[in-house]
Amino acid sequence: MTAPTKQHLIDPEICIRCHTCEMTCNLGAITHDDNNVVVDAAKCEFCLDCIPVCPTGSIDEWRVVAQPHSLEEQFGWDELPAPEQVAAGGETATEIEAYDEAMAVLLEEAHKGGGGKPVAPASAAKPAINLYNAGRPAEATVQGSFRLSGEDSDTDLRHIILNFAALPFPVLEGQSIGIITPGTDENGKPHLPRLYSVSSPRDGERPNFNNLSLTVKREPYGVCSNFLCDLKKGDRVQVTGPFGATFLMPDDPQARLLMICTGTGSAPFRAFTMRRLRSGGGHSGPMTLFFGARSPDSLPYFGPLRKVPDNVLKKHLVFSRVPATPKEFVQDRMMAERTEVAGFISDPNTHIYICGLRGMEQGVERAFTGIAQGIGIEWLALRTTMREEGRYHVETY
């Protein structure tokens, strides 16, 4: 079987033939005849420069095809052909989280805790997917690597900033990227990319500098995490992605976000919060964060987080290993704050996000079930509704 490839197409029923895309494309990949404006699959490198300049949205069409459609074929179209069925999962192109099969499997696994097929928030921006793969990775330069955990802590938590210079690498909050560790594994094969959630907002760690940040914890014997944590400023990294088309934040400023995380699971929520802050946080719907870690010095971004004003983000920081203090987990705090949580789950404007270690799922589920019951709501039914409406999102590992 030939590996399916991604093809960029223009919807001839919607295109108004203004040729703005053609004038924008630096690669000469867009051309037209008297009938249609079309993209040459052999020349398009998915740089996405043509996407924002299109007034109609007709250019944002992506298909996974066994064989790319030729120019001649596209010139003859009055409408787009029906999407081909994709081998993995049988989903159509609109909901694909990754075109790399291995990455798609990883994400499917991570999203399992949602209890069904994940759906993106209705007002989420459209993500770019899989612009780079292991065969054609993007190269980023390490702009900085900073230790987040306290000096005495035995946890090595790092904030790593990657710069893509002139290379387009558009990400949305909640998306992940793949990091390729150089060298080969024990079987002599190149390492598969490992997924890391981006912890900066869409306009970059620093606005418009085309960079992004990751939140990485050094795992004993972890090949990729050790590689990342050892990186020095100026080192180069091979990156794939971006991946993920459902664990995204709503663009609707009135949406309320309830976010629950442990450890480095906070990465996407740092991105969400920064996005809201940069796009006028005070005017948007409230966000609440339940954040669990062992101790304050192993809670990523403990300092900066506390400076975020409460009217933007309400914070419940929960610690399980502080000497002389009883252990507390996120689910315990959720139960303690049941009135607030109940207010969230009974509001159709609420989006719930859970991110962190797989182990947290059970406790959080229990807390939701109990709190929902208290206000006469059947949690599983509500969860299904919320998921189907793109308002319930789980990413655990």
Partner 1 sequence: MVDLLNMSYDTQIPNNVGLSADKKVLKALEKWHPGYINWWNDLIPEKFQKSMIYLRTAVSVDPKGWAKFDYVKMPEYRWGILLAPGVEDRLIPCGEHKGEPAWQEVPGEYRNLLKPLIVIQGDTEPASVEQQRFLGMTAPSLYDMRNLFQVNVEEGRHLWAMVYLLQKYFGRDGREEADDLLLRSSGSEEAPRLLGAFNEETPDWLSFFMFTYFTDRDGKMQLESLAQSGFDPLSRSCRFMLTEEAHHMFVGETGVGRTIERTCQAMNEAGIADPYDTGKIRDLGVIDLPTIQKKLNLHYTLSLDLFGQEVSTNAANAFNAGIKGRYLEPRIDDDHQLRNDTYRVWGIVDGKLIQHEVPALTEINMRLRDDYTRDAAGGVGRWNRIIEKAGLEFEMKLPHECFNRKIGVFAGHDFDPEGNLLSGAEYEAGLPTWLPTHADGDFIQSLMRPVSEPGQFAGWISPPKVGIDNKPGDFEYAKLHMA
Q: Which one, 13 or 378, has the nearer CB to partner 1?
A: 13
Q: Which one, 45 or 101, has the nearer CB to partner 1?
A: 45
In whole angstroms, what is the distance from residue 303 CA to residue 125 CA? 30
Binder among 31, 141, 226, 279 for partner 1 (CB under 8 A): 279
Q: Residue 267 burial by CB count (10 A; 0-12/13-18/19+): exposed, middle or buried?
A: buried
- Residue 128 beta carbon to partner 1: minimum distance, rounded to whole angstroms: 11
Binder among 254, 325, 339, 362 for partner 1 (CB under 8 A): 254
Q: Determine if 14 is a binding residue for partner 1 (CB under 8 A).
A: yes
Q: Determine if 50 is a binding residue for partner 1 (CB under 8 A).
A: yes
Binder among 31, 45, 46, 53 for partner 1 (CB under 8 A): 53
- Residue 302 beta carbon to partner 1: minimum distance, rounded to whole angstroms: 30
* Binding letters toward partner 1, positions 191-210, x by CB under 8 A: -----------------x--
Q: Determine if 92 is a binding residue for partner 1 (CB under 8 A).
A: no
- Which segments of 157-266 does DSSP mark as H helices, in order? 223-230
- Name residues contacting partner 1, limited to 123-142 (CB under 8 A): 123, 125-126
128-136, 157-165, 251-259, 323-331 -> range binding partner 1 (CB under 8 A): 251-259
Q: Is 355 helix (H, G, I), strand (E, B) or coil?
A: strand
| Pairing mode, strands 138-147 and 236-243 | antiparallel
Q: Which one, 203 or 235, has the nearer CB to partner 1?
A: 203
Is residue 240 within a helix (H) or strand (E), and if so which, with residue range?
strand 236-243
Q: How far is CA 230 from CA 213, 236, 266, in A?
A: 15, 12, 21
Are the beta carbons of 354 and 331 closer than 8 angstroms? Answer: no
In whole angstroms, what is the distance from residue 63 CA to residue 373 CA? 44
Q: Determine if 349 is a binding residue for partner 1 (CB under 8 A).
A: no
Query: Of the candidates 85, 82, 75, which has an alpha carbon nearest to the alpha carbon of residue 12?
Result: 75
Q: Is 160 helix (H, G, I), strand (E, B) or coil?
A: strand
In whole angstroms, what is the distance from residue 365 CA to residue 385 CA? 15
- Number of residues counted as binding partner 1 (CB under 8 A): 32
Q: Which one, 33 or 185, has the nearer CB to partner 1?
A: 33
Are the beta carbons of 279 and 217 closer than 8 angstroms? Answer: no
119-127, 340-348, 354-362, 379-387 -> range binding partner 1 (CB under 8 A): 119-127
Q: Is 361 helix (H, G, I), strand (E, B) or coil?
A: helix
Binder among 18, 165, 380, 381 for partner 1 (CB under 8 A): 18
- Which segments of 62-181 does DSSP mark as H helices, in order? 71-75, 101-110
Query: Of the candidates 234, 268, 46, 244, which has an alpha carbon nearest to the alpha carbon of residue 140?
Result: 234
Token output for 225: 């995490």
Query: Of the candidates 302, 290, 275, 318, which has an alpha carbon nearest to the alpha carbon of residue 157?
Result: 302
- Residue 354 beta carbon to partner 1: minimum distance, rounded to whole angstroms: 24
46-54, 235-243, 258-266, 341-349 -> range binding partner 1 (CB under 8 A): 46-54
Q: Determine if 32 is a binding residue for partner 1 (CB under 8 A).
A: no
Token output for 51: 């996407």
- Residue 230 beta carbon to partner 1: minimum distance, rounded to whole angstroms: 32
64-72, 85-93, 122-130, 187-195 -> range binding partner 1 (CB under 8 A): 122-130
Binder among 9, 29, 60, 68 for partner 1 (CB under 8 A): 60
| List of residues contacting partner 1 (CB under 8 A) | 11, 13-14, 16-18, 20, 24, 48-53, 55-58, 60, 78, 122-123, 125-126, 168, 170, 208, 251-254, 279
